[in-house]
Amino acid sequence: MTSATSDLASLAALRSVQTRSISPENFDGSAGGGGRATEGTGAGNARDLGPGWKISPSVDIKAGETLELASIQGAGKITHIWITTHTDNWRTLLLRAYWDGSDEPAIEVPYGDFFCNGWGVFAQVNSQTIAANPHGGFNSYWPMPFKDGARLTVENTSVVDVRVYYQVTYEIGGDYSNDGYFHAQWRRSNPLEDLTPHVILEGIEGQGQYVGTYIAWGVNSNGWWGEGEIKFYLDDDTDYPTICGTGTEDYFGGAWNFDIPGKGYTEFSTPYLGMPQVIRPDGLYVSQQRFGMYRWHLLDPIHFATGIPKVDIQALGWRSGWRYLPLRDDIASTALFYLDRPTARRPKTPTADDLEVHLGTAPVPDIGASPARAPQD
Protein backbone atom coordinates (compact mmCIF):
# COMPACT_ATOMS: atom_id res chain seq x y z
CA MET A 1 0.00 0.00 0.00
CA THR A 2 1.31 3.46 -0.81
CA SER A 3 1.90 5.95 1.98
CA ALA A 4 -0.95 8.17 3.07
CA THR A 5 -0.92 11.62 1.54
CA SER A 6 -1.50 13.07 5.00
CA ASP A 7 2.10 12.30 6.00
CA LEU A 8 3.78 15.63 6.70
CA ALA A 9 6.80 14.60 4.65
CA SER A 10 4.67 14.31 1.51
CA LEU A 11 2.04 16.98 2.18
CA ALA A 12 3.76 19.60 0.03
CA ALA A 13 4.17 17.28 -2.97
CA LEU A 14 2.12 18.31 -5.99
CA ARG A 15 -0.02 15.46 -7.28
CA SER A 16 -2.26 15.18 -10.31
CA VAL A 17 -5.39 14.24 -8.35
CA GLN A 18 -8.69 15.95 -7.59
CA THR A 19 -10.67 16.00 -4.35
CA ARG A 20 -14.38 15.22 -4.28
CA SER A 21 -16.86 14.97 -1.42
CA ILE A 22 -20.25 13.31 -1.05
CA SER A 23 -22.81 14.52 1.48
CA PRO A 24 -26.57 15.16 1.61
CA GLU A 25 -25.73 18.51 -0.01
CA ASN A 26 -23.97 16.78 -2.93
CA PHE A 27 -25.12 13.18 -3.22
CA ASP A 28 -22.95 12.27 -6.20
CA GLY A 29 -19.85 14.32 -5.38
CA SER A 30 -19.92 16.12 -8.71
CA ALA A 31 -17.72 19.15 -9.31
CA GLY A 32 -19.70 22.30 -8.52
CA GLY A 33 -22.60 20.12 -7.36
CA GLY A 34 -22.75 21.20 -3.72
CA GLY A 35 -25.30 23.46 -2.07
CA ARG A 36 -27.87 23.13 -4.84
CA ALA A 37 -30.58 21.31 -2.89
CA THR A 38 -34.11 22.72 -2.91
CA GLU A 39 -35.57 20.12 -0.54
CA GLY A 40 -34.27 18.14 2.41
CA THR A 41 -34.29 17.85 6.19
CA GLY A 42 -33.29 21.51 6.59
CA ALA A 43 -35.67 23.03 4.04
CA GLY A 44 -38.10 24.25 6.69
CA ASN A 45 -35.33 25.87 8.71
CA ALA A 46 -34.03 27.66 5.60
CA ARG A 47 -37.44 28.80 4.35
CA ASP A 48 -36.49 32.46 4.78
CA LEU A 49 -33.13 32.03 3.05
CA GLY A 50 -33.56 29.70 0.07
CA PRO A 51 -31.12 27.44 -1.82
CA GLY A 52 -27.52 27.42 -0.70
CA TRP A 53 -28.46 27.81 2.97
CA LYS A 54 -28.27 24.33 4.52
CA ILE A 55 -31.30 22.85 2.79
CA SER A 56 -30.17 19.20 2.95
CA PRO A 57 -27.69 18.58 5.79
CA SER A 58 -28.86 15.07 6.72
CA VAL A 59 -30.84 12.02 5.64
CA ASP A 60 -33.50 9.96 7.42
CA ILE A 61 -33.25 6.18 7.22
CA LYS A 62 -36.53 4.39 7.82
CA ALA A 63 -36.66 1.35 10.09
CA GLY A 64 -35.37 -1.71 8.27
CA GLU A 65 -34.09 0.20 5.25
CA THR A 66 -30.59 0.81 3.84
CA LEU A 67 -29.17 4.19 2.84
CA GLU A 68 -26.51 4.48 0.14
CA LEU A 69 -24.03 6.94 1.62
CA ALA A 70 -21.82 7.11 -1.44
CA SER A 71 -21.49 5.62 -4.90
CA ILE A 72 -18.25 6.41 -6.75
CA GLN A 73 -17.36 5.39 -10.28
CA GLY A 74 -13.87 4.53 -11.50
CA ALA A 75 -10.65 4.50 -9.48
CA GLY A 76 -10.04 6.57 -6.38
CA LYS A 77 -9.38 6.55 -2.64
CA ILE A 78 -11.60 7.54 0.27
CA THR A 79 -9.50 9.71 2.57
CA HIS A 80 -11.96 10.83 5.27
CA ILE A 81 -15.39 9.95 6.59
CA TRP A 82 -17.25 12.16 9.05
CA ILE A 83 -20.61 10.96 10.33
CA THR A 84 -22.96 11.45 13.27
CA THR A 85 -26.28 10.20 14.59
CA HIS A 86 -27.99 9.76 17.95
CA THR A 87 -26.17 7.51 20.43
CA ASP A 88 -29.09 5.05 20.52
CA ASN A 89 -28.32 4.18 16.89
CA TRP A 90 -24.67 3.28 17.33
CA ARG A 91 -25.34 -0.46 17.62
CA THR A 92 -28.45 -0.60 15.40
CA LEU A 93 -26.78 0.71 12.23
CA LEU A 94 -24.58 -1.53 10.06
CA LEU A 95 -21.86 0.21 8.04
CA ARG A 96 -20.82 -1.53 4.82
CA ALA A 97 -18.39 -0.83 1.96
CA TYR A 98 -18.16 -2.58 -1.41
CA TRP A 99 -15.17 -2.27 -3.74
CA ASP A 100 -14.98 -2.59 -7.54
CA GLY A 101 -18.60 -3.62 -8.04
CA SER A 102 -18.46 -6.58 -5.67
CA ASP A 103 -21.76 -7.93 -4.35
CA GLU A 104 -20.15 -8.90 -1.02
CA PRO A 105 -19.06 -6.16 1.38
CA ALA A 106 -15.44 -5.76 2.43
CA ILE A 107 -16.62 -3.76 5.45
CA GLU A 108 -19.56 -4.95 7.54
CA VAL A 109 -19.33 -3.51 11.05
CA PRO A 110 -21.75 -1.91 13.51
CA TYR A 111 -21.53 1.86 13.15
CA GLY A 112 -20.34 2.51 16.70
CA ASP A 113 -17.76 -0.26 16.77
CA PHE A 114 -16.13 0.99 13.57
CA PHE A 115 -15.51 4.29 15.36
CA CYS A 116 -14.38 2.67 18.66
CA ASN A 117 -17.67 3.37 20.44
CA GLY A 118 -19.33 -0.02 20.65
CA TRP A 119 -21.37 0.39 23.83
CA GLY A 120 -23.69 3.21 22.80
CA VAL A 121 -22.00 5.51 25.34
CA PHE A 122 -19.67 8.22 24.07
CA ALA A 123 -15.90 7.87 24.54
CA GLN A 124 -13.38 10.41 23.26
CA VAL A 125 -10.90 8.77 20.87
CA ASN A 126 -7.72 10.61 19.82
CA SER A 127 -5.99 8.27 17.38
CA GLN A 128 -4.38 8.77 14.00
CA THR A 129 -7.04 6.90 12.02
CA ILE A 130 -10.16 7.20 14.20
CA ALA A 131 -11.24 10.35 16.06
CA ALA A 132 -14.46 10.36 18.09
CA ASN A 133 -15.33 13.84 19.33
CA PRO A 134 -18.12 15.32 21.49
CA HIS A 135 -20.87 14.35 21.18
CA GLY A 136 -20.61 11.59 18.61
CA GLY A 137 -18.73 13.30 15.81
CA PHE A 138 -17.08 10.22 14.30
CA ASN A 139 -14.12 10.49 11.92
CA SER A 140 -12.22 7.86 9.95
CA TYR A 141 -8.92 8.54 8.21
CA TRP A 142 -8.33 4.94 7.12
CA PRO A 143 -7.20 5.12 3.45
CA MET A 144 -9.69 3.15 1.35
CA PRO A 145 -8.42 2.81 -2.24
CA PHE A 146 -10.36 1.16 -5.06
CA LYS A 147 -9.68 0.47 -8.73
CA ASP A 148 -13.14 0.42 -10.29
CA GLY A 149 -15.76 1.97 -8.02
CA ALA A 150 -16.83 2.15 -4.39
CA ARG A 151 -20.16 1.99 -2.61
CA LEU A 152 -20.82 2.78 1.07
CA THR A 153 -24.14 1.98 2.77
CA VAL A 154 -25.75 2.10 6.20
CA GLU A 155 -28.53 -0.32 7.16
CA ASN A 156 -30.98 0.59 9.91
CA THR A 157 -31.76 -2.64 11.76
CA SER A 158 -33.90 -0.90 14.40
CA VAL A 159 -37.67 -0.41 14.71
CA VAL A 160 -37.46 3.40 14.49
CA ASP A 161 -36.37 5.87 11.81
CA VAL A 162 -32.95 7.45 12.34
CA ARG A 163 -31.35 10.66 11.09
CA VAL A 164 -27.76 10.63 9.85
CA TYR A 165 -25.41 13.49 8.96
CA TYR A 166 -22.33 12.53 6.95
CA GLN A 167 -19.57 13.54 4.56
CA VAL A 168 -17.35 11.18 2.54
CA THR A 169 -14.22 12.80 1.07
CA TYR A 170 -12.19 11.04 -1.61
CA GLU A 171 -9.64 11.64 -4.33
CA ILE A 172 -9.62 10.59 -7.97
CA GLY A 173 -6.95 10.61 -10.66
CA GLY A 174 -4.18 8.77 -8.83
CA ASP A 175 -2.54 5.40 -9.36
CA TYR A 176 -4.02 2.85 -6.94
CA SER A 177 -3.02 -0.27 -8.86
CA ASN A 178 -0.60 -1.45 -6.17
CA ASP A 179 -2.84 -0.70 -3.19
CA GLY A 180 -4.70 -3.26 -1.14
CA TYR A 181 -8.41 -3.13 -0.41
CA PHE A 182 -9.54 -2.11 3.08
CA HIS A 183 -11.55 -4.73 4.99
CA ALA A 184 -13.28 -4.65 8.37
CA GLN A 185 -15.05 -7.59 10.02
CA TRP A 186 -17.05 -7.81 13.27
CA ARG A 187 -17.61 -10.80 15.51
CA ARG A 188 -19.26 -11.15 18.90
CA SER A 189 -19.13 -13.89 21.54
CA ASN A 190 -21.96 -13.22 24.00
CA PRO A 191 -21.14 -15.01 26.18
CA LEU A 192 -17.89 -16.64 25.17
CA GLU A 193 -18.07 -20.43 25.03
CA ASP A 194 -16.37 -22.33 27.86
CA LEU A 195 -12.64 -22.95 27.32
CA THR A 196 -12.82 -21.34 23.88
CA PRO A 197 -10.88 -18.27 22.68
CA HIS A 198 -12.79 -15.48 20.95
CA VAL A 199 -12.15 -15.51 17.20
CA ILE A 200 -11.26 -12.07 15.83
CA LEU A 201 -10.55 -13.12 12.23
CA GLU A 202 -10.62 -16.42 10.39
CA GLY A 203 -10.04 -18.02 7.00
CA ILE A 204 -8.56 -15.05 5.11
CA GLU A 205 -6.83 -15.93 1.84
CA GLY A 206 -4.49 -13.66 -0.11
CA GLN A 207 -1.64 -11.23 0.48
CA GLY A 208 -1.96 -8.21 2.71
CA GLN A 209 -1.43 -6.72 6.13
CA TYR A 210 -3.43 -6.73 9.35
CA VAL A 211 -3.67 -3.15 10.60
CA GLY A 212 -6.02 -2.90 13.56
CA THR A 213 -8.23 -4.30 16.31
CA TYR A 214 -11.04 -2.75 18.31
CA ILE A 215 -12.71 -4.70 21.12
CA ALA A 216 -15.79 -3.84 23.17
CA TRP A 217 -15.24 -6.11 26.18
CA GLY A 218 -17.96 -6.74 28.74
CA VAL A 219 -16.82 -8.44 31.94
CA ASN A 220 -19.15 -11.01 33.53
CA SER A 221 -17.19 -11.91 36.67
CA ASN A 222 -15.27 -10.33 39.51
CA GLY A 223 -11.52 -9.91 39.45
CA TRP A 224 -9.07 -9.15 36.67
CA TRP A 225 -10.20 -10.26 33.22
CA GLY A 226 -7.27 -9.61 30.88
CA GLU A 227 -4.69 -12.38 31.33
CA GLY A 228 -5.57 -13.90 27.95
CA GLU A 229 -3.13 -13.90 25.04
CA ILE A 230 -3.86 -12.75 21.49
CA LYS A 231 -2.52 -15.03 18.76
CA PHE A 232 -1.92 -14.36 15.04
CA TYR A 233 -1.82 -17.45 12.83
CA LEU A 234 -0.15 -16.37 9.58
CA ASP A 235 0.28 -18.06 6.19
CA ASP A 236 0.98 -21.77 6.86
CA ASP A 237 0.41 -21.70 10.62
CA THR A 238 -1.91 -24.44 11.87
CA ASP A 239 -1.64 -25.58 15.50
CA TYR A 240 0.63 -22.78 16.70
CA PRO A 241 0.80 -19.06 15.82
CA THR A 242 3.68 -17.01 14.53
CA ILE A 243 2.78 -14.10 16.84
CA CYS A 244 1.69 -14.76 20.42
CA GLY A 245 1.08 -11.93 22.86
CA THR A 246 1.57 -11.94 26.62
CA GLY A 247 -1.76 -10.56 27.82
CA THR A 248 -4.75 -8.49 26.82
CA GLU A 249 -3.64 -5.20 28.34
CA ASP A 250 -0.16 -5.75 26.91
CA TYR A 251 -1.49 -6.02 23.34
CA PHE A 252 -3.43 -2.77 23.76
CA GLY A 253 -0.31 -1.00 25.04
CA GLY A 254 -1.04 -0.94 28.76
CA ALA A 255 0.39 -2.87 31.69
CA TRP A 256 -0.49 -4.24 35.10
CA ASN A 257 -4.25 -4.44 34.59
CA PHE A 258 -4.61 -0.81 33.38
CA ASP A 259 -4.74 -0.06 37.13
CA ILE A 260 -3.09 3.09 38.44
CA PRO A 261 -2.93 2.55 42.25
CA GLY A 262 -5.53 4.71 43.92
CA LYS A 263 -7.30 5.47 40.63
CA GLY A 264 -8.26 2.04 39.32
CA TYR A 265 -8.88 1.43 35.62
CA THR A 266 -7.58 4.50 33.78
CA GLU A 267 -8.67 5.55 30.30
CA PHE A 268 -6.06 6.54 27.72
CA SER A 269 -6.06 7.34 24.00
CA THR A 270 -2.94 7.68 21.84
CA PRO A 271 -2.29 7.78 18.08
CA TYR A 272 -1.79 4.03 17.84
CA LEU A 273 -3.49 2.37 20.81
CA GLY A 274 -5.72 3.03 23.76
CA MET A 275 -8.45 2.09 26.19
CA PRO A 276 -10.63 5.18 25.82
CA GLN A 277 -13.68 3.71 27.54
CA VAL A 278 -14.34 2.33 31.02
CA ILE A 279 -18.02 1.95 31.94
CA ARG A 280 -18.45 1.29 35.65
CA PRO A 281 -21.44 -0.31 37.40
CA ASP A 282 -23.94 2.12 38.93
CA GLY A 283 -25.32 -0.22 41.59
CA LEU A 284 -28.58 -0.75 39.72
CA TYR A 285 -29.14 -1.69 36.06
CA VAL A 286 -25.63 -0.96 34.80
CA SER A 287 -24.41 -4.06 36.58
CA GLN A 288 -21.18 -5.02 34.79
CA GLN A 289 -17.89 -3.41 33.82
CA ARG A 290 -17.53 -2.54 30.15
CA PHE A 291 -14.37 -1.54 28.27
CA GLY A 292 -13.43 -0.25 24.81
CA MET A 293 -9.88 -0.80 23.50
CA TYR A 294 -8.10 -0.27 20.18
CA ARG A 295 -4.71 -1.20 18.69
CA TRP A 296 -3.68 0.18 15.30
CA HIS A 297 -0.73 -1.51 13.57
CA LEU A 298 0.22 1.59 11.61
CA LEU A 299 3.96 1.55 12.25
CA ASP A 300 4.03 -2.22 12.73
CA PRO A 301 1.59 -3.78 10.25
CA ILE A 302 1.36 -7.57 10.41
CA HIS A 303 2.21 -8.78 6.89
CA PHE A 304 1.07 -12.08 5.44
CA ALA A 305 1.87 -13.65 2.07
CA THR A 306 -0.88 -16.22 1.55
CA GLY A 307 -3.47 -15.50 4.23
CA ILE A 308 -4.49 -15.33 7.87
CA PRO A 309 -5.89 -18.66 9.04
CA LYS A 310 -6.94 -17.15 12.35
CA VAL A 311 -6.58 -14.40 14.93
CA ASP A 312 -8.03 -15.12 18.36
CA ILE A 313 -7.83 -13.91 21.94
CA GLN A 314 -8.27 -15.74 25.22
CA ALA A 315 -10.37 -14.50 28.14
CA LEU A 316 -8.60 -15.36 31.36
CA GLY A 317 -8.96 -14.24 34.95
CA TRP A 318 -7.75 -15.72 38.22
CA ARG A 319 -9.01 -18.38 40.59
CA SER A 320 -7.61 -19.50 43.94
CA GLY A 321 -4.14 -20.96 44.07
CA TRP A 322 -2.87 -18.53 41.42
CA ARG A 323 -4.57 -20.56 38.68
CA TYR A 324 -5.96 -19.08 35.51
CA LEU A 325 -9.76 -18.88 35.32
CA PRO A 326 -11.26 -19.19 31.80
CA LEU A 327 -13.95 -16.51 31.50
CA ARG A 328 -17.25 -16.34 29.61
CA ASP A 329 -17.34 -12.64 28.86
CA ASP A 330 -19.17 -10.56 26.21
CA ILE A 331 -16.52 -9.81 23.57
CA ALA A 332 -17.22 -7.91 20.34
CA SER A 333 -14.23 -7.40 18.06
CA THR A 334 -13.56 -5.48 14.87
CA ALA A 335 -10.62 -6.64 12.73
CA LEU A 336 -9.12 -4.27 10.14
CA PHE A 337 -6.84 -5.37 7.32
CA TYR A 338 -5.75 -4.67 3.74
CA LEU A 339 -6.00 -7.46 1.18
CA ASP A 340 -5.05 -7.98 -2.45
CA ARG A 341 -8.71 -8.66 -3.36
CA PRO A 342 -11.98 -6.80 -2.76
CA THR A 343 -13.79 -9.66 -1.00
CA ALA A 344 -12.84 -12.16 1.67
CA ARG A 345 -14.37 -14.88 3.78
CA ARG A 346 -16.46 -13.21 6.44
CA PRO A 347 -18.89 -14.15 9.22
CA LYS A 348 -22.64 -14.17 8.73
CA THR A 349 -24.35 -10.81 8.85
CA PRO A 350 -25.35 -10.07 12.46
CA THR A 351 -29.01 -9.70 13.36
CA ALA A 352 -30.45 -6.90 15.48
CA ASP A 353 -30.37 -9.25 18.47
CA ASP A 354 -26.71 -10.09 17.79
CA LEU A 355 -25.87 -6.38 17.85
CA GLU A 356 -27.94 -5.26 20.81
CA VAL A 357 -26.49 -3.59 23.86
CA HIS A 358 -28.58 -2.23 26.72
CA LEU A 359 -29.50 1.42 26.12
CA GLY A 360 -29.05 3.78 29.04
CA THR A 361 -29.56 3.01 32.72
CA ALA A 362 -33.21 1.89 32.75
CA PRO A 363 -34.45 -1.66 33.45
CA VAL A 364 -35.78 -2.03 29.89
CA PRO A 365 -33.59 -0.86 26.96
CA ASP A 366 -36.51 0.93 25.25
CA ILE A 367 -37.21 3.17 28.26
CA GLY A 368 -35.47 6.48 27.74
CA ALA A 369 -34.55 5.70 24.15
CA SER A 370 -34.75 8.52 21.64
CA PRO A 371 -37.15 8.47 19.91
CA ALA A 372 -39.29 6.52 22.38
CA ARG A 373 -39.76 2.85 21.53
CA ALA A 374 -43.23 1.53 22.37
CA PRO A 375 -43.81 -2.10 23.43
CA GLN A 376 -43.83 -4.51 20.49
CA ASP A 377 -46.28 -7.34 19.96
User: 58-100 pLDDT, tens per residue?
Assistant: 999 999 999 999 999 999 999 999 999 999 999 999 999 999 9
> So what's the pLDDT on residue 8?
87
> So what's the pLDDT on residue 352?
97
pLDDT at 146 over 90: yes
Rounded Cα gap, residues 362 and 21, in angstroms: 40
Residue 89: DSSP 8-state: G
CA distances from 348 to 65, 187, 336, 351, 358 (A): 19, 9, 17, 9, 22
Tens of pLDDT, residue by residue over 227-275, are: 999 999 999 999 999 999 999 999 999 999 999 999 999 999 999 999 9
pLDDT band at residue 6 under the 50/70/90 scheme: low
> So what's the pLDDT on residue 161?
96
What percent of the chain is helix, strand and coil (3-state, nearest 5)?
A: 5, 40, 55
pLDDT band at residue 1 under the 50/70/90 scheme: very low
- How much is the pTM? 0.97
pLDDT at 376 over 90: no
State the number of CA atoms in the 13 A half-sphere of 318 facing the CB.
8
* Residue 17 backbone phi and psi in degrees, to 5: -130, 165
pLDDT band at residue 359 under the 50/70/90 scheme: confident
> So what's the pLDDT on residue 373?
85
> So what's the pLDDT on residue 226?
98
Rounded Cα gap, residues 178 and 176, in angstroms: 6
Tens of pLDDT, residue by residue over 301-354, are: 999 999 999 999 999 999 999 999 999 999 999 999 999 999 999 999 999 999
Rounded Cα gap, residues 83 and 168, in angstroms: 8
**Please, what's the b/e burial string for 151-187 (b: 16 or more CB within 10 A of its CB; e: otherwise)?**
bbbbbbbbebebebbbbbbbbbebebeebbbbbbbbb
Overall average pLDDT of the 363-369 stretch: 90
> So what's the pLDDT on residue 4?
45
Q: What is the mean pLDDT of the chain?
A: 96
pLDDT band at residue 279 under the 50/70/90 scheme: very high
Express as a percent the part of the chain with pLDDT over 70.
98
Rounded Cα gap, residues 265 and 277, in angstroms: 10
> So what's the pLDDT on residue 3?
43
